[in-house]
Amino acid sequence: MLGPLNINLAEYSVSSRNGFLPDEIPLERLSDSYYIEWETIIEKLPLLLQTKSLRVSVDRMQVLSTSKLISEPEWRRAYLLLSFFTHAYIWETGGPSERIPPQISVPFLRVSDHFNLPTTATYAALNLWNFATTPPDADLRKVENLRSLHTFTGSRDEEWFYLISVAIEAHGARVIPLMMTAMDAVRANDSSVVTDALIKFSECIREIGEILKRMNERCDPQVFYNVIRPFLAGSKNMAVAGLPNGVYYDEGDGKSQWRKYSGGSNAQSSLIQFFDVVLGVQHSSTKGSSANSFLQEMRRYMPGKHADFLRKIEEIANIRGYAESTSDSEVTEAYNLAVEELKKFRDIHIGIVTRYIITPSKQHAPSEHAGLNLAVASANPTSAKDLHGTGGTQLLPFLKQSRDETRDTRIP
């Protein structure tokens, strides 16, 4: 019998209450008036993009220092603002920009280093650090209590798209301490605690699947595909959308370089990867698709401490081994139930992707556009397999492989 693991979640910036969401609601404004130019542009961002004047406005800005960011919430907000500026600058109507000016790249590189994150619009920027509640102390698990701080389009569709993920993160947060308890119970050979935790895990996965299904309520597939999704695209594997070399981050001092990054993707959710890791789901490389290498790469797009947490859980995960070796059939049955619910969640995700990306791609390209973007470039594909996600990987092969490998984790 082994002692408890004694993992301190706070050391990994994981909240025992909110999971990978911050303990405090994200700031709605930077406190120092020094950053007024940033705040003015983000406030007008949808209008600036609609009038094709975002790039001009950014080019007129000063290159601001990060020295006046005084707290972690302020650093998170700075990362959010510069993420939105970067993707807005690249994908403003008229064709992609292959250059990011010093007004964005210089502070963004500094802020990104602070979190060990890349200089692109990650899941953390778009979802984890981009929400508020109404009222302030409202339950984060209910989408109706949430609002996004910022969007590219100003549309309810885009806001709803982000908030579904926020609600999933909040709802799934309770699974983290629950499964830490289960791993301790394995070490103590307490099968009843392990069984109970796996049953509660299954219930939680089922519930977040129901939240994901609500995407249809206020996010229109055509609006998402043609208007919102182009702004989420990264600069990696985006030759088809006009960025064969990625993007040139101009620092104005001879240190500038070309960079290629994935865009925002749900594969960057530490919570979703936690589900796999704690259950021992193994993703492998197969011909034409490598789910494991892609998921490992996506950890580079998570806040550094969150990625460290996942690596730690990989080192100590013991639930699957226990379920395989125990003579208590209730543990094995509860484990298989958890795997089945996670597989069903991935089926729901494939259905959402089919409705929001695969089906719209087979219809006509947008009738009004003045330049190349991901929606235009991906219209009328020869095969659904050719479609890439904003993260840069082939959509259906990746998602189906992840679903099938989850199913195959079941213990006979």
Domains (range + CATH), the chain: 13-407 (1.20.58.480)
Gap between the Cα atoms of 78 and 37, Å rounded: 12
Report the percentage of the chain scoring pLDDT > 70: 92
Binding residues: 349
Structure tokens at 56: 């001009």
pLDDT at 286 over 70: no
Among 1-10, 21-30, 322-331, the range scoring the smallest mean pLDDT is: 1-10
Rounded to an integer, the average pLDDT of 217-232 is 96
In the predicted model, is pLDDT for residue 33 greater than 90?
Answer: yes
Tens-place pLDDT, residues 181-207: 999 999 999 999 999 999 999 999 999
Rounded CA separation 165/159 (Å): 10
* pLDDT confidence bin for 386, thresholds 50/70/90: low
pTM above 0.85, yes or no: yes
What pLDDT sits at residue 379?
A: 62
Provide the token pair at 262.
Answer: 């994935």
* Number of CB atoms found within 10 A of residue 238's CB: 27
How large is the average pLDDT for residues 294-318?
97
Q: Please list, residue by residue across 335-362, b when 16 or more beta carbons sit within 10 angstroms of its beta carbon and e when fewer do.
A: bbbbbbbbbbbbebbbebbbebbbebbe
| pLDDT digits 0-9 by tens, 139-165 | 999 999 999 999 999 999 999 999 999
Q: What residues form the annotated binding site for heme b?
A: 349
- Return mean pLDDT, the chain: 93
Residue 253: exposure state from Cβ atoms within 10 A (0-12, 13-18, ≥19): exposed
The pLDDT of residue 316: 97
pLDDT of residue 382: 60
